[in-house]
Amino acid sequence: MKLIVQKFGGSSVRDAQRIRNVAGIIADTYRAGNQVLVVLSAQGDTTDDLIEKAREINPRASKREMDMLLSTGEQISIALCAMALEGMGLPVVSLTGWQVGIHTSSAYGSARIKTIDQERVRQELDKNKIVLVAGFQGVNRFGDVTTLGRGGSDTSAVALAAAFHADLCQIYTDVDGVYTTDPRLVPDARKLQEITYDEMLELASQGAQVLHNRSVELAKKYQVNLEVLSSLERKPGTKVKEVAKMEKTNIAGVAKDTSIARIALVGLAHSPGVAFRVFSLLGKGNINVDAIIQSIGREESKDISFTLPRADVEDAVRLLEEQKETLGFDHITVEDKIAKVSIVGAGMMTTPGVAAKMFEALYDANINIQMINTSEIRVSVLIDEEDAVAAVRAVHALSLIHISEPTRH
């Protein structure tokens, strides 16, 4: 008997009709002779609605209390879906993160999973029950509810699949797989039959919203058999695996991220250890920094610019201003009307000129590049936010992306 983990996102359970559809998928999987462990997100815009309710009461609510509030969305989803499955005559139980025993760090709002207890879930599976788990949440060493951050239900699903050595982890969304770019922006975007963990991780990290990047990290680390597919159409999706194709393509996809901002520290002391002090301070504040650029030092000072999630700007500026005298900078500038556009592909490692073609596409579209950041399989550029969609279309249209048939085994 196979164990299959299935995760359904907010759009898949947004209303009663969608919940019944999800229950049908779960039922079919169970009736096929499988053990089924399901992770659900909050319905539709529930999380955003809860955030707005919190702002009405206290715009500066503590992260602990925000986690208490936001975790309720997933609890609603699992209870409603369990009711739907009960109505179909199927044995089912719904469990919150703390009932399962998903133990996390204490970084409220962005907690990391440390361990997962197996006893409760095993007991329920051994009773031939379908187990529904609230995604996005866990419990810390103080017994407090924690949340895993945006996209955390993906992470919950993959972590459970790894902990229970599931045969397959299916991530159901409102699209039928991973595309070369967002098909809502570029109609001729093509679906990938397969993609490597590394490519998927880069795309997820650069703004592609199909999978959360932390879930892909876990899938790669524990070799989870992962598939992305649609809850609205019964057809094969995209498989995420270690090696996807015998002969690699240049570019697997184009992604954009409009949820970032750039901070510049102007007039930093030009001395050893300054960068260490800046970024260790931000790290201790649980602020994740992406691209970093340091200017050529002037006589006694230099500038450092970096990008970070827009939601973290206020906390980052506060931390830096509190240590202004220690760090020795003149002033801070913040720019939040920016976007990052990235191309990703393992074939870039052995194909010269790919970055130049991307820059040519942006030049032809009259889009100015503010910052460039690269890895072995990625090139990212920082541009004005208003140019983001045009940039994606221009880069995708330059015939950079060539999809080869997957290797048959």
Task: Identify the CATH number of the domain in which residue 80 sits.
Answer: 3.40.1160.10
Please give the model's pTM, rounded to 2 decimal places.
0.81
Q: Which residue has the higher pLDDT, 352 or 39?
A: 39
β-pairing, 191-192 vs 178-179, is: antiparallel
Q: Is residue 323 part of a domain?
A: no
**d(Cα 379, Cα 388) in Å, to the nearest integer?**
15
Inform me whether the pLDDT recorded for 402 exceeds 60.
no
Q: Is residue 125 part of a domain?
A: yes
Confidence of residue 409 (pLDDT cuts 50, 70, 90): very low
Q: Based on the structure, what is the number of domains in the chain?
A: 1
Q: Is residue 36 part of a domain?
A: yes
Q: Is residue 230 part of a domain?
A: no
Do residues 138 and 160 make contact, with C-beta atoms less than 8 angstroms apart?
A: no
Q: Is residue 385 part of a domain?
A: no
Q: Is residue 185 part of a domain?
A: no
- Closest to 164 (Cα-Cα) out of 34, 27, 74, 37: 37
What integer is the mean pLDDT of 252-261?
Answer: 90
Inform me whether the pLDDT recorded for 232 exceeds 60.
yes
What integer is the mean pLDDT of 272-297?
Answer: 88
Do residues 176 and 166 make contact, with C-beta atoms less than 8 angstroms apart?
A: no
**d(Cα 261, Cα 365) in Å, to the nearest integer?**
23
229-243, 338-352, 383-397: least confident range: 338-352
Inform me whether the pLDDT recorded for 249 exceeds 70.
no
Do residues 140 and 101 make contact, with C-beta atoms less than 8 angstroms apart?
A: no
49 DSSP 8-state letter: H
**d(Cα 80, Cα 13) in Å, to the nearest integer?**
9
**d(Cα 252, Cα 194) in Å, to the nearest integer?**
10
Confidence at residue 247, expressed as pLDDT on a 0 to 100 scale: 42
Inform me whether the pLDDT recorded for 14 exceeds 80.
yes
The SS3 call for residue 113 is strand
Burial 47-74 (b: 16+ CB within 10 A, else e): beebeeebeeeeeeeebbebbbbbbbbb
Give the full edge-to-edge strand order of the sheet including 260-269.
292-294, 301-309, 260-269, 331-335
Inform me whether the pLDDT recorded for 403 exceeds 50.
no
Q: Is residue 236 part of a domain?
A: no
Q: Which residue has the higher pLDDT, 189 or 92?
A: 92
Confidence at residue 349, expressed as pLDDT on a 0 to 100 scale: 67
Domain enclosing residue 129, as ranges: 3-174
Count of CB atoms situated within 10 Å of the CB of 325: 8
Confidence of residue 299 (pLDDT cuts 50, 70, 90): low
Confidence at residue 81, expressed as pLDDT on a 0 to 100 scale: 98
Q: Is residue 400 part of a domain?
A: no
Give the largest CA-CA distance in the chain: 76
Confidence at residue 151, expressed as pLDDT on a 0 to 100 scale: 82
